[in-house]
A and B are shown apart, each in its own frame.
Chain A
Amino acid sequence: MYRIIEARNLAANIYQMIVEAPRVAKKCMPGQFLIVRTGPDSERIALTICDYDREKGTITIVFQTVGASTEVMSKLKTGDSFHDVVGPLGRPSELIDEPADELKKKNILFVAGGVGTAPVYPQVKWLHEQGVAADVIVGAKTKDILILEDEMKAVAGNLYVTTDDGSYGRSGMVTKVIEDLVGEGKKYDVCIAIGPMIMMKFVAKLTKELNIPTIVSMNPIMVDGTGMCGACRIIVGGEVKFACVDGPEFDGHLVDFDGAMKRSQMYKTEEGKKLLELQEGDTHHGGCGNCN
């Protein structure tokens, strides 16, 4: 079993958990993900690793409730356990292959959207440990769901926070901040954007115009996460790639976001039904005639 050392509600529907998983903690690198299950019959849920402590043998995950399985997960408390934690999965960020001297010469921009701030954090932290200061834009819909601001501030070169509704920091989408920064004369050699697919799509579109090479982290539907089922396939540069073994990070200028977004809708109906069942409990009656 994988004990939860600390469970915390970060913002409205966003939770952070520090979990004992010594094998994962020992080997994981920024950019990789893991899969958790809450119980013996539960769904496999893929989550990006937000932080790790090799000595304590713990990993940190951050997730947003989006369906029945994450809803169940959000109810777990400090001292509870996950039934399964497996990883690290996927390939680490390409940045970690570059020598620190090379990285120091580069102007690196991270763009984090919503809960995507969590997977951006370990990359910025890793660079900070190598003595590399990266600029970070964090975007959230509104102030209440902004996460990890202090943590990010401690490791980022410059941190730019923006909210869609202007309730905190700058006002507007992350793309506007990129335009503003470039307008102010900032030059970037590489951009790493992680967040909702729609955000990554528009960041990639903009950085293509601005000629900034861009890496995105894809989180498509997955089952096993080890390269066995092929559910996570996406089109990158006209070729079919498996996010779990070839990714999750890809060249943002080559990813077919529209196809990936359509595919990610595949189980929306089923997920919605499961969530209703869970929320309504014994009173659940969908009126569909197909329920048990």
Chain B
Amino acid sequence: MEVDVLKRIPVREQEPKTRATNFDEVCLGYNAEEAQCEASRCINCKNAQCIKGCPVAINIPGFIEQVKNGDFKKAYEIISQSSALPAVCGRVCPQETQCEGKCIRGIKGDPISIGKLERFVADWASENGIKPVSDAPKKGKKVAVIGSGPAGLTCAGDLARMGYDVTIFEALHEAGGVLVYGIPEFRLPKEKVVKKEIENVKSLGVKIETNVIIGKSVTIDELVSEEGYDAVFIGSGAGLPKFMGIPGETASGVFSANEYLTRSNLMKAYDPASPTPIKIGKKVAVVGGGNVAMDAARTALRLGSEVHIVYRRSEEELPARVEEVHHAKEEGVIFDLLTNPVEILTDENGWVNGIKCIRMELGEPDESGRRRPVEVAGSEFVIDVDTVIMSLGTSPNPLIASTTDGLDVNKRGCIIATEEQGATSKDGVYAGGDAVTGAATVILAMGAGKTAAQGIDEYLQGKA
């Protein structure tokens, strides 16, 4: 294989027309030869900027060098020192703004495909039955981790590696959090990737108890006083879906993206044999422009609907990853930009039969630095749809904060935790991920889980 040092080795993908009709993974990943060629482009910078761009600080040039040498096992060992979920991160991290965004190769040519290489190494390890190992002596202390999403799994994995006795409590019937209920199969395969990564965390000695809602089934104070936990990490995730507050939002045929994706992903409603139903609209409007909106849109498309993304700003401001927008367009999602819904229209039985929107134009920049969308007077029009999916973000679930004495939240309801350690206002209780920051990314949650694991270790060492 010829290598042009300025150009990345292209990654194989399913054809857009084919993949728009199935739930198989879009990106097929590198094979060993492609991975080694891509790795050979890395110049192994002494002062590696990519590591600084990684929230969990993987030794990126280190593992890439091993890929170049063909020692994939060693590459996996280097990655798993820093990351509990490499097969997930290789697929869903926004590398373009993190490690790859800082890559020196990127100044003149394409940055190294760090994400695709990480994915290759993780998949290779999984196919070859290699699991992370922990031989740390047992510390004889118990830590409870609330939530089995990216923050919880990372925190639990790191603590288990240090020798702590860790139990994760998960509210749903299946572990994985947003990795199983939120991110679709075609971006993140559940059996092949997510389940295996969770098995890896378990192989470090982490126990997972599903069907436990902290704040309802048991409180944090009870975990400490009655069940003997020495410290607690809260990684309970994002919470309640937001709606716009426009007329018609409780009509039949209106979903939150969380509901739509949970039905399809966690409950497997994309499979007609699933006992859990999903409404397959003829024409679907997805309101919002983030990654979750793209996931909902591409799911609806695969279920057979015509799909419109309705977003109030322009393409440049879309918060979703460029790759996701690109994929959605290739597959046939229609983008109605500079468009904002004002009312959901319904028929006599309460079913959606249209969404009334108004055209927008961009004005002066707002506090987010993005140009503020302004309504164009008199420009209302109706998009003919029978299903509306609201993807406007989430607000924190108050369940834990309201049942835990002395746990402070900010005015948005997010748990307050220190950046350096993840420490909350309550002694021995740490937090991280979306429960602290509001909806963000998998890798940022993992970074917070990692930080908190260190914080918890220091706390418990100090008590010993």
Residues of A within 8 A of B (CB): 23-24, 26-27, 37, 41-44, 68-69, 72, 83-89, 223-224, 226-231, 233-235, 240, 242, 245, 256, 259, 262-263, 265-267, 270-271, 274, 292
Contacts and interface: CB of A to CB of B under 8 A. Distances in A.
25 contacts: A41-B275, A86-B173, A86-B210, A86-B217, A223-B267, A226-B397, A226-B399, A227-B240, A228-B397, A229-B258, A230-B241, A230-B243, A230-B258, A231-B259, A240-B245, A245-B240, A245-B399, A262-B252, A263-B250, A263-B350, A265-B252, A265-B349, A265-B350, A267-B279, A270-B279
Given A27-B218, A84-B211, A89-B213, A245 B171 contact: no
Interface in B276-290: 276-277, 279
Nearest to B241: A230
Nearest to B271: A41
A234 B250 contact: yes
B274 interface: yes
Contacts of B249: 233, 240
Interface residues of B, number: 42
A227 to B, nearest CB: 5
Nearest to B395: A227
B132 interface: no
Interface of B: 171-173, 181, 210-213, 216-218, 237, 239-241, 243, 245, 249-253, 255-256, 258-259, 262-263, 267-268, 272-277, 279, 349-350, 397-399
Contacts of B250: 233-235, 240, 256, 259, 263
**A contacts with B: majority SS:** mixed
> What are the nearest 6 A-B pairs in CB distance?
A262-B350, A270-B277, A229-B259, A86-B211, A230-B256, A230-B241
Max chain B C-beta neighbours (<10 A), residue from A43, A44, A68, A226 = A226
**B contacts with A: majority SS:** loop
Given A226-B172, A233-B250, A245-B398, 17 more contacts: A23-B212, A24-B217, A27-B216, A27-B218, A41-B268, A43-B275, A44-B267, A86-B172, A88-B216, A88-B217, A224-B171, A226-B397, A233-B243, A240-B250, A256-B250, A262-B350, A263-B252
A270 B172 CA distance: 24
A86 B397 CA distance: 17
Nearest to A234: B250
B171 A226 contact: yes
B252 A266 contact: yes
A265 B277 CA distance: 13
A243 to B, nearest CB: 11
Contacts of B397: 226-228, 245
Nearest to A86: B211
Contact of A86 (B171, B240, B350): B171
Contacts of B239: 227-228
A240 B243 contact: yes
Contacts of A42: 275
Nearest to A37: B173
Given A41-B268, A259-B350, A266-B252, A271 B277 contact: yes
Contact of B241 (A24, A37, A229, A292): A229
Contacts of A230: 240-241, 243, 255-256, 258-259
Contacts of A266: 252-253, 279
A269 to B, nearest CB: 9
Contacts of B245: 240
Contacts of B173: 37, 44, 83-84, 86
B240 A23 contact: no
A68 B273 CA distance: 12
A72 B276 CA distance: 13
Given A27-B217, A263-B350, A274 B240 contact: no
A18 B217 CA distance: 18
A30 to B, nearest CB: 15
Contacts of B181: 224, 228
Contact of B272 (A27, A227, A231, A292): A292
Contacts of B253: 266
A144 B217 CA distance: 36
